[in-house]
Amino acid sequence: MMNFQYDALEASVKLEDITSSSHNTAILHRLKNNDPALSFLFIDELFDHYDDNDDLFEVREGDDLGWLGYFIGGNETLTSLSVYQLPEDREQAEMFFTGIQLNKSIGDFDISSGVLLGEGFSAMNLPHVTSMSLDCHLEREYAHYFAIGLRRCESLEDYSGQWPVTAEIVESLTTLPMLENVGVWKNRGLAISPDECVALRELLLNANRLNHLDLSGVGLGNDGLRLLAEGLACYSSLADGVLDLSSNDIGDEGLHALLRL
């Protein structure tokens, strides 16, 4: 269902019919009425330790995430949205993203550990978000779908995320005209691969505004640094910014590669 269809039904829909609890119904009311106290919202499954958190939408059976996305899209008070849980169902995820793409107030978007990045992320379209954090493990088979959605985040200035940094994700990052800061980290003790080093080299060669790159603790080593060297040598903007290569087991050979830049 597209947004114009939600528009036609909004006046008649009963919020309690599209939510699983009175708590979630209250969240939709607050979104719809632009409650100024609701500037941050996170979406997750229900856990006992939340203790009736007023900023939590508890995803359970009976919640229509298309309507949640619709009301987020029309809201003007939210500045930060954290998604800890979305259904793997592609249609539900696409309806959610179709709704929130109309929001103009959210600047920070966080995709956290409970989310399984599936095909639905190809519908991600967040043209007004300026900061994004991907704090969950991205399976390589789904990186393609995330890269498609990432390309549409045209106002993005800051991006941080876990491995893998695939060639498609890097290509999407290089198309973002406002991108200035990138931070990446490894997961589950895995070191960066040679292919990922090459992808980051391409990011350095093609991201025109990048002035902060954090690669601390990703297991570059001497070999990884050599693969990055061409990009570091050609990217002059980092001379006035920040490049963090700490905790990467870089020895004399790697240091010599840096000195030759």
Per-residue pLDDT tens, the chain, 261 aa: give them.
556 788 889 989 999 999 999 999 999 999 999 999 999 998 987 655 555 688 999 888 899 989 999 999 999 999 999 988 776 667 777 888 888 999 999 999 998 755 555 677 788 889 999 999 987 766 777 788 888 999 999 999 999 887 666 778 888 888 898 988 888 766 545 667 787 788 778 777 777 777 788 888 777 888 888 887 777 776 555 555 677 878 778 877 767 766 666
pLDDT score for 145: 87
* Model confidence pTM above 0.85: no
pLDDT score for 235: 59
pLDDT score for 259: 65
pLDDT score for 77: 97
Q: What is the DSSP letter of 33?
A: T
pLDDT score for 199: 79
pLDDT score for 33: 96
Q: What is the DSSP letter of 191?
A: P
Extract the runs of DSSP E, i.e. beta strands, from the chain.
40-44, 56-58, 80-83, 108-111, 131-134, 158-162, 181-185, 212-214, 242-244
Q: Which residue has the tokens 């590669």?
A: 257
| C-alpha–C-alpha distance, residues 158 and 179, integer Å | 6
Residues 6+ apart with CB under 8 A from 17: none
pLDDT score for 123: 82
Distances (CA, A) of 166 to 10, 155, 183: 41, 21, 14
Distance of CA 30 to the CA centre of its chain: 24
Residue type, 248: N
Q: Which of 260, 170, 256, 154 is nearest to 213 (CA)?
A: 170
Concatenate the DSSP letters of all residues of 61-96 into one string. TT--HHHHHHHHHH-SS--EEEE----S-HHHHHHH
Q: Which of 27, 23, 69 is nearest to 46 (CA)?
A: 23
Asked if residues 104 and 77 have their Cβ atoms less than 8 Å apart, the reply is no
pLDDT score for 134: 84
At CA 4, angle to CA 89 and CA 88, rounded to 5? Answer: 5
pLDDT score for 82: 92
pLDDT score for 132: 94
